[in-house]
């Protein structure tokens, strides 16, 4: 493999615009994910030093562009990974939206190119192209979109898209536009990635499978005279001990019944996404085969589409698994945990100190009671840090 290990990592979190809670597949323990809550999660991620947040896209979510534009002014350094949708948006309109949000956020926009893999949802949005045709549309879309963000005037007469004299009058804050993130596991998707995008994303498969996939993408990109970087999308369940972590993972799916799992798997089966097929194949809808690799658990994929695996373990184990992916060349980790507010703190506090991050450490504002951390004892005694003793 020609991909160099990544010595440092960017860690992003997730804004749960499709809902949040303490359990999967049930309303019990659910919470209202209104603007105030999403702002809380974003501000926590910003204060804790995460590189950015991913906003999901689709009919089950609040609109990612509107949420990002509303939340961004309440944060300082946090970046926002927001989706453009080829076939659903005009490339010229998407370029104007991108440039505007990039400017008003002071260059904190990242762009996720989403082709879409659910034929039923696509039909509801007026998209009836088949799998490979959607990637052909994506290729034409990105040709126009990226040229506009570079400041070019575009004439394009393609099989699917046509523009004449297209221009972007107000440029983005980032030169040539925000970096493009993209995930696609099929040959058609990989071909588009190799030719057009900056960062290729994979869902959380076992390291050996990830290594094979990114090797294919890397070779395709090099054959096209390009170089791409790599990221991975995972959930995390981290606790101070391994036993606590696995107990928390079990609790997360403790309200799932077989009917709910079966309905979810039937929905995933109708999709023509190769990435979703690979996710579903990891567990086959069965509860008894969920640990698919050391500390890699597929329980979330029983009912959640897309990213369905989680790193489960104590801080040292989770950090070790992240470093394994870094050794494959992955430099960006898009993580989430249920509930997202509490787990953003838990992961940052337990795992950030064990990683070499390529972005800011936690920022704590103010000068009052700025340390030591912990509640002051009896009003005037500073809490001491308990030190481990060897026996």
Residue 390 has pLDDT above 50, yes or no: no
pLDDT at 80: 98
Asked whether the predicted pLDDT for residue 350 surpasses 70, the reply is yes
Residue 376 — very low, low, confident or very high, per pLDDT cuts 50/70/90? low
The residue length of the chain stands at 391
Q: Which of 12-21, 254-263, 305-314, 319-328 has the lowest mean pLDDT?
A: 254-263
Q: What is the average pLDDT value for the chain, to the nearest integer?
A: 91
Give the domain 10-236+310-354 fold.
TIM Barrel (3.20.20)
Look at residue 210 and tell me whether its pLDDT is greater than 70.
yes
Strands 79-84 and 20-21: unpaired
Q: 361: which DSSP letter?
A: P
Give the model confidence (pLDDT) of 138-191 as tens digits.
999 999 999 999 999 999 999 999 999 999 999 999 999 999 999 988 999 999
Q: Is the pLDDT of residue 386 over 70?
A: no
Of 67-76, 115-124, 279-288, give the range with the top mean pLDDT: 67-76
**Percent of the chain predicted with pLDDT > 70:** 92
The Cα–Cα gap between 15 and 35 comes to 11
Residue 371 above 70 pLDDT?
Answer: no
Q: What is the 3-class SS of 124-187, one letter each residue?
A: HCCCCCCHHHHHHHHHHHHHHHHHHHCCCCEEEECCCCEEEEECCCCCCCCCCCCCEEECCCCH
Average pLDDT score over residue span 20-42: 94
pTM of the model: 0.91
SS3 for 298?
Answer: coil
Q: Which of 245, 260, 238 is nearest to 25 (CA)?
A: 260
Token representation of residue 23: 């359990």
Among 119, 134, 149, CA closest to 191: 134
Question: 254: which DSSP letter?
Answer: T
Q: What is the pLDDT of residue 288?
A: 80
Q: Which pLDDT score, from 0 to 100, does residue 120 have?
A: 85
Task: Determine the average pLDDT of the residues in 43-72.
Answer: 96
Q: Cα dihedral angle (210, 211, 216, 220), rounded to 10 degrees? A: 100
The pLDDT, as a whole number, for residue 226 is: 97
pLDDT band per the 50, 70, 90 thresholds, residue 364: very low
Q: Which stretch of DSSP H or E encloses residue 237? A: strand 229-238
List C-alpha distances in Å: 5 to 220, 317, 320, 322: 19, 19, 14, 12
Res 322: pLDDT: 98
Which residues are paired to 293 by β-bridges? 296
Residue ranges in 58-104 assigned as alpha helix (H): 64-71, 91-104
Pick the closest to residue 56 from 240, 304, 245 (CA basis): 304
State residue 179's pLDDT score: 98
Stretch among 93-102, 123-132, 325-334 having the lowest mean pLDDT: 123-132
pLDDT band at 222 (very low <50, low <70, confident <90, very high): very high
Residue 209 to residue 292: CA distance in whole angstroms: 11
Q: Identify the CA nearest to 208 among candidates 42, 324, 85.
A: 324
Checking if the pLDDT of 380 tops 80, the result is: no
Confidence of residue 362 (pLDDT cuts 50, 70, 90): low
Tokens of 360: 């800011």
Task: Report the alpha-carbon distance of residue 38 to residue 378 in Å, rounded.
Answer: 35
Contacting residues for 263 by C-beta, under 8 A, at least 6 apart = none
Mean pLDDT of 370-391: 60
The Cα 332–Cα 82 span in angstroms is: 16
- Alpha helices by DSSP H, listed for 296-354, are 315-327, 340-350
**pLDDT score at 72:** 98
Range with the lowest mean pLDDT among 42-56, 160-174, 203-217, 360-374?
360-374
Region of residue 82 (phi > 0: left; psi between -120 and 50: alpha; otherwise: beta): beta
Domain boundaries, the chain: 10-236+310-354
């Amino acid at each position: 493999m020609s991909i160099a290990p990544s010595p440092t990592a960017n860690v992003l979190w997730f804004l749960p615009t499709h809902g949040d809670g303490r359990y999967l597949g049930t309303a019990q323990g659910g919470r209202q994910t209104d603007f105030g809550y999403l702002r809380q999660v974003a501000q926590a991620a910003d204060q804790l030093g995460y590189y950015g947040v991913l906003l999901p896209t689709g009919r089950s979510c609040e609109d990612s562009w509107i949420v990002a534009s509303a939340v961004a002014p309440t944060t300082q350094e946090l970046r926002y990974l927001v989706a453009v949708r080829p076939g659903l948006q005009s490339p010229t309109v998407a370029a104007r939206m991108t440039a505007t949000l990039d400017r008003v956020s002071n260059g904190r926009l990242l762009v996720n190119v989403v082709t879409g893999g659910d034929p039923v949802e696509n039909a509801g949005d007026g998209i009836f192209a088949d799998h490979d045709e959607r990637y052909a549309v994506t290729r034409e879309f990105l040709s126009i979109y990226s040229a506009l963000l570079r400041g070019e005037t575009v004439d394009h007469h393609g099989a699917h898209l046509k523009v004449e004299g297209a221009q972007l009058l107000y440029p983005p804050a980032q030169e040539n536009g925000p970096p493009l993130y993209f995930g696609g596991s099929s040959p058609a998707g990989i071909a588009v990635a190799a030719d057009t995008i900056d960062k290729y994303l994979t869902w959380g498969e076992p390291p050996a499978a990830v290594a094979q996939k990114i090797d294919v993408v890397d070779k395709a990109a090099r054959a096209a005279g390009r170089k791409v970087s790599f990221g991975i999308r995972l959930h995390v369940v981290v606790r101070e001990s391994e036993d606590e972590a696995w107990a928390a993972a079990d609790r997360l799916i403790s309200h799932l019944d077989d009917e709910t799992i079966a309905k979810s798997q039937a929905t995933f089966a109708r999709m023509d996404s190769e990435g979703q097929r690979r996710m579903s194949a990891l567990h086959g809808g069965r509860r008894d085969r969920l640990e698919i690799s050391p500390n890699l658990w597929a329980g979330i994929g029983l009912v959640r589409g897309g990213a369905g695996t989680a790193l489960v373990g104590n801080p040292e184990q989770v950090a070790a698994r992240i470093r394994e992916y870094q050794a494959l060349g992955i430099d960006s980790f898009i993580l989430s945990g249920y509930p997202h507010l509490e787990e953003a703190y838990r992961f940052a506090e337990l795992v950030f100190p064990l990683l070499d991050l390529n972005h800011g450490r936690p920022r704590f504002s103010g000068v009052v009671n700025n340390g030591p951390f912990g509640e002051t004892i009896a009003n005037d005694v500073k809490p001491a840090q308990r030190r481990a003793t060897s026996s």
